[in-house]
Structure 1
Amino acid sequence: MSIAEKSKLKFEMVTEHYQVKAHPQSNRLYHIELSTESLMKFFEAVKKENYSVQHLEYTPYARHIIASHLLDQVGEEFGALLRSIVHDRESGGFTLGLNGVTENTDDYVIFSTAVSHLVGIPNFDAMTGKYYARFSVKDTDNSDSYLRQAYRLFTLHTDGTFVDEPTDWLLMMKMVEQNARGGESRLLHLDDWNELDKYASHPLANHKFTYKAPSSKNVGQEVERLTFFNYHNKPGICYIDQFVYPETIEQSKYLSDLSNSMENDENVIELELPVGDLVVVNNIFWLHGRAAFEKDPNLYRELLRQRGRFNENNL
């Protein structure tokens, strides 16, 4: 049994309100199932207090209140469990769904907000001007990044590379999907990357590269980032191929080779995520991307994204 497999045992559990088990596609990720009764009671409590999506957007403390409503239904220890998983280097991620209790996308925003505020504090998302982003992938697209381009590989990367603030974790939730074949979420845990040592020990691993965002991100600043850094005495990574501006051929070759190595690693997971499910990963040692979709003129997928920092008061 590997170290990663052994680590699953410390969080696997069954309670009256939820079950935590190893994810069927990964010995790193967990899958958490909440009871139907707990989910229904959560949404009833939210509805009773008239917590709409607009209320959450306008009133930051309301986001913490609905997180407390989720804890009321599943137990106070649930928040600590989620944080323990995301902080755990041997795991650092989980999937969680609504089990068909609702198909209302406003409910998806509300539920994901409750989960995210148990993990940490979402950053302001300049692309949408909110604490979260909803974006679609369709057959045609004229955007200035790979995010919405359906028929090409969205290469492995970490979020928050071009902003000067911590981006410790990432939440993605599938809101709507129609006529979609392919397009799986691709994930790679840093410690599973076979050539990690080669690139983390390279002289350019400690070079500060310049990152600039395209206009659609609504971020005008430039930031300098180390590709690899020390995180609790193990490597952390900050990287995206689209927005990094190397200054030499040598630097460009290093970044290109690094990206190709990750993309072709045998340990990349192509995650199956049903509509109404979300995935949360530690953004410091998990990389993520998206496989290409198969061509379809009626393709449509909508995703929700939240990303942010850990709350020091909950560590």
Structure 2
Amino acid sequence: MSLESSNPIRTEPVTGAGVWRAGDFSGPGDWTEVLEECEIAEVERALAVAKGHGSSPGTLSVDDFPLPTVKRRLEGIVDELEFGRGFAVLRGLPVEKWTVEDAKLVYWGIGLHLGTPVSQNAAGELMAHVRDHSEGELGDPSVETRAYRTRSELPFHTDSADIVGLLCLRNSGRGGESTLASSMTIYNHLLAHHRELLGLYYRGFVYDRRAENAGDEIPYYRNSVYGYFDGLLNCRFYMTHYIESATVKSGIPLSDIERHALELFQEIGSMEEHCLTMKLRTGDIQLLNNNVVVHGRSAFQDEPGRRRDLLRLWLNTRKARKYPDDFAAFRFGMPKTQ
């Protein structure tokens, strides 16, 4: 079926494994894949091969990072991300004994087996450190920095790629827990209890580009929260702080009903029966499908000698969903694959 430029509203509840509640899981073992010793050894052999070729992230190819056994596990994770619950944790990478550069090379190599890395900002950065860069608090209207560069609490949101991956090099002393909710479950709740608001989410909101507009681009853009294409519902809900700062730049205030819709989305996701909380361990890779899962984070505080540091990859999968260019387009004008 060819894609339409219109965005029809889905009027039936979403079904399938991507519609989950916190009570559907007995604990972290339900979503955690623990690498076996032989698999870790295979990863370290692949690292040695890549270093022997003089490879670096960005120049490494999937053939330069051979994972004959581990790649089958990674293929299963991709299936789970796209067709299952939409999130997973890969546990057991011994990053504490690697240099940061080696950890980046391993992470990049694993990422290539999961999908295609895509740009995370206007500078074309393909791997980013998620840590406190001491650039201010997210709620400060004078702060132009991106959310991942702060230690602030982050509300539920998605990122601008099919998959977001976080490799935990070191977690914080206090705080920094991840929060997850199924955006499909949120949708079903809206459909059942707030059906009259659905059109607002399909119309979407205006977001601040956070000083990363290129050339003659205006410093804000509109994006729909939900899109229904080829029989699949997709969600892209970007940072609400960016919506607030966009009202200043555009001069267009949010209406009371729009503000209510934004707050309601967060409230539904945060319901105890909907929200999962997890704290990543050193060596964990958390993987989330932005089309069906929203995520957030509690505020964190670094302690002396213990600086929270996660490496982030944005990936488009080879099984990526198809949707029109005006839905979930990259804010920086990048193509959906590169």
Establish whether residue 228 from structure 1 lines up as the match of residue 226 from structure 2: yes
Instruction: Please list, as runs of the form range in 1=range in 2, the aligned pairs for 1:135-154 lying within 5 A after superposition.
Output: 135-137=130-132, 140-142=134-136, 144-150=145-151, 152-154=152-154
Q: Is contact 2:49-2:64 (8 Å) kept?
A: no
Instruction: Please list, as runs of the form range in 1=range in 2, the aligned pairs for 1:82-161 lying within 5 A after superposition.
Output: 82-88=77-83, 90-100=84-94, 102-126=97-121, 129-137=124-132, 140-142=134-136, 144-150=145-151, 152-160=152-160
Establish whether residue 212 from structure 1 lines up as the match of residue 208 from structure 2: yes
Instruction: Provide structure 1 residue ranges, at least 5 long, that are not aligned to the other structure.
Output: 8-21, 161-166
Structure of higher RCO (CA pairs closer than 8 Å, 6+ residues apart): 2
RMSD over aligned CA atoms reads: 3.5
Residue of structure 2 equivalent to 1:262: 269
Count of residue pairs the alignment pairs up:
280
Over 3 Å counting, the alpha-carbon distance change for 1:56 and 1:81 in structure 2 is same
Shift of 1:66: 4.1
Shift of 1:295: 7.6
Over 3 Å counting, the alpha-carbon distance change for 1:33 and 1:296 in structure 2 is closer
Q: Is contact 2:171-2:280 (8 Å) kept?
A: no
Query: What amino acid sits opposite 1:186 in the alignment?
Result: T
Q: For 1:53 and 1:172, locate their aligned partners in 2 and report how far apart those are by CA, in whole Å.
A: 25
Query: What amino acid sits opposite 2:184 in the alignment?
Result: D
Shift of 1:284: 0.4
Residue of structure 2 equivalent to 1:16: none
Query: What amino acid sits opposite 2:236 in the alignment?
Result: C
Establish whether residue 195 from structure 1 lines up as the match of residue 173 from structure 2: no
Over 3 Å counting, the alpha-carbon distance change for 1:41 and 1:131 in structure 2 is same
Residue of structure 1 equivalent to 2:332: none
- Name segments (4+ residues, structure 1) moved above 6 Å: none
Q: Is contact 1:209-1:224 (8 Å) kept?
A: yes
Residue of structure 2 equivalent to 1:242: 241
Query: What amino acid sits opposite 1:256 in the alignment?
Result: E
Establish whether residue 288 from structure 1 lines up as the match of residue 295 from structure 2: yes
Deviations 1:188-229 (A, max 9, x none): 1123437342457622122142222212x5665643211111
Q: For 1:158 and 1:313, locate their aligned partners in 2 and report how far apart those are by CA, in whole Å.
A: 16
Give the secondary structure class of the aligned counterpart of 2:201: helix
Give the secondary structure class of the aligned counterpart of 1:95: strand
Residue of structure 1 equivalent to 2:28: 25
Q: For 2:171 and 2:54, locate their aligned partners in 1 and report how far apart those are by CA, in whole Å.
A: 21
Residue of structure 2 equivalent to 1:168: 162
- State the TM-score, normalized to the length of structure 1: 0.75
Shift of 1:96: 0.7
Over 3 Å counting, the alpha-carbon distance change for 1:229 and 1:78 in structure 2 is same
Residue of structure 2 equivalent to 1:10: none
Q: Is contact 2:209-2:221 (8 Å) kept?
A: no
Shift of 1:168: 1.0
Residue of structure 1 equivalent to 2:12: none
Give the secondary structure class of the aligned counterpart of 1:195: helix
Q: For 2:54 and 2:178, locate their aligned partners in 1 and report how far apart those are by CA, in whole Å.
A: 26
Match of 1:65 among 63, 66, 77: 63
Shift of 1:182: 1.6
